[in-house]
């Protein structure tokens, strides 16, 4: 395995576009991460997270 593996060819991941939405219930803020392709959206195929736990990987490189 290379030190810097390619996500697709080395690890078998399939990259896809994601939509990031921000929501609030009045008390708490949430970040929702959904696949952009609606055909990929199915029950439990999403993430709801505290905004403080979500980071932009492009800024971490």
What is the pLDDT at residue 28?
86
45 has pLDDT over 80: no
| Percent over 90 (pLDDT), the chain | 11
Domain contains 57:
no
How many whole angstroms separate alpha carbon 32 and alpha carbon 60? 20
Structural domain range at position 43: 1-52
13 has pLDDT over 70: yes
- Which 3 state secondary structure label does DSSP give 54? coil
What's the distance, Cα to Cα, between the start and end of the chain in Å?
Answer: 20
pTM greater than the 0.85 cutoff: no
Cβ pair 15, 7 in contact under 8 A = yes
Q: How many domains does the chain have?
A: 1
Domain contains 19:
yes
Domain contains 4:
yes
Cβ pair 36, 21 in contact under 8 A = no
- Helix H or strand E encompassing 28: none
Higher model confidence: residue 11 or residue 46?
A: 11
Domain contains 37:
yes
């Amino acid at each position: 395995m290379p030190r810097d593996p390619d996500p697709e060819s080395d690890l078998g991941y399939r990259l896809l576009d994601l939509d990031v939405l921000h929501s609030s219930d009045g008390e708490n803020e949430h970040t929702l991460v959904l696949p952009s392709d609606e055909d990929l959206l199915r029950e439990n195929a999403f993430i709801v997270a505290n905004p403080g736990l979500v980071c932009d990987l492009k800024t971490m490189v």
